Copies of this chain bind each other. A is one copy, B any other.
Amino acid sequence: MNAVYEECIQACLECMEACNHCFDACLQETDVHMMTECIRLDRECADICAFTAKAIQANSPFAEDICNLCAEVCEACSNECRKHNHDHCQKCAEACLKCAEICRNMSA
């Protein structure tokens, strides 16, 4: 597999991990009522990242369109996470932003 594809898979899998961890951590925060959009977007973003990694790995003819959708979800999740000071949110915002950029390049 070429290096661009491998980089995109790696970014998706790291973003998936950051989002799933953030989902769990948000549910345990005392200010959970502030975290509801984060929880919603963490689930959505983790799931589309897993889906995108699978599509690239399995040589899907739709990989570029899926990357485009993934970038959009990652951007929304990054924007929400960066509003919150929790360490898991800041790390998630960063992983989402990186994944969004790499997915945008894949789909360009």
Interface residues of A, Cβ cutoff 8 Å to B: 1, 9, 13, 16-17, 20-21, 23-24, 27-28, 30, 32-33, 36, 39-40, 43-44, 46-48, 50-51, 53-55, 57-62, 65-66, 69, 72-73, 76
| A33 touching B32 in the complex, CB below 8 Å, given contacts A16-B54, A46-B54 | yes
Instruction: List 14 contacting pairs A-B, 8 Å CB cutoff, sorted by A.
Output: A13-B13, A16-B53, A17-B53, A21-B57, A24-B40, A24-B58, A27-B36, A33-B33, A43-B43, A44-B55, A46-B54, A47-B54, A61-B76, A62-B72
Minimum C-beta distance from A45 to chain B (A): 10
Q: Are B28 and A36 in contact (CB under 8 A)?
A: yes
Residue contact A21 to B62, C-beta cutoff 8 Å: no
Q: How far is the CA of A14 from the CA of B83 in the complex (A)?
A: 33
In the complex, how many angstroms separate the beta carbon of A73 from the nearest chain B beta carbon?
6
Question: Closest CB of chain B to A14's CB: distance in Å?
Answer: 10
User: In the complex, what residue of chain B is closest to A44 when comparing beta carbons?
Assistant: B60
